[in-house]
Amino acid sequence: MNWRPNLANIDPILDQLLTMSQHLGDPALDYAILGEGNTSARADSETFWVKASGVEMRTIAPAGFVRVRFDRVLDLLAVDNLDDAGVKAGLEAAKADPAVVARPSVETVLHALALHMDGVHFVGHTHPTAVNAILCSQQAEEAIAGRLFPDEIVYCGPAPVYVPYTDPGVPLARAVHQAMVGHQARYGQAPKVVLMQNHGLIALGKTALEVEQITAMAVKAARVLLGAYALGGPHFLEPTAAERIHTRPDELYRRKAWGIE
Ligand SMILES: [Zn+2]
Question: What is the per-residue pLDDT across 73-104, written as a single tens digit (0 to 9) for each?
Answer: 999 998 888 888 899 999 999 999 999 999 99
Alpha helix stretches (DSSP H) within 11-106 = 12-24, 70-75, 84-93
C-alpha distances out from residue 146 to 33, 68, 152, 212, 248, Å: 29, 37, 11, 22, 19
- Percentages helix, strand, coil for the chain (3-state, rounded to 5) are 45, 15, 40
CA of 106 to the centre of ligand 1 (A): 10
How remote is the CA of residue 126 from the centroid of ligand 1, in Å?
6
Distance CA 95, CA 259 (A): 32
Q: How far is the centre of ligand 1, averaged over its atoms, from the C-alpha of 82 (Å)? A: 20
What's the 236 CA to ligand 1 centre distance in angstroms? 28
Compute the distance from residue 198 Cα to the ligand 1 centre, in Å. 10
Beta-bridge mates of residue 122: 41, 205
Residue 261 has a pLDDT of: 60
Terminal alpha carbon distance of the chain = 31
Centroid of ligand 1 to alpha carbon of 99 (angstroms): 27
Determine the pLDDT at residue 257: 65
Q: Residue 201 in 3-state DSSP?
A: strand
Query: What is the 163 CA–ligand 1 centroid distance (Å)?
Result: 13
Query: Which parts of the chain register pLDDT below 70?
Result: 1-8, 249-261
Inter-helix orientation angle 239-247/249-257, to 10°:
50
Separation of CA 232 and ligand 1 centre (Å): 31
Centre of ligand 1 to C-alpha 107, Å, is 8
Q: What is the reported pTM?
A: 0.92
Alpha carbon of 119 to ligand 1 centroid (Å): 23
pLDDT of residue 204: 98
Whether 219 contacts 31, CB under 8 Å: yes
Cβ atoms of 214 and 156 within 8 Å: the answer is yes
- pLDDT for the residue numbered 258: 62
Tell whether the torsion through CA atoms of 180, 182, 183 and 187 is positive or negative. Answer: positive
Tell me the per-residue pLDDT of 181-211, one tens digit each, with 9 for 90 and over.
999 999 999 999 999 999 999 999 999 999 9
Rounded distance from Cα 166 to ligand 1 centre (Å):
11
- Cα of 256 from ligand 1 centre, angstroms: 30
Ligand 1 center to residue 9 CA distance, Å? Answer: 31
**Residue 199 CA, ligand 1 centroid: distance in Å:** 6
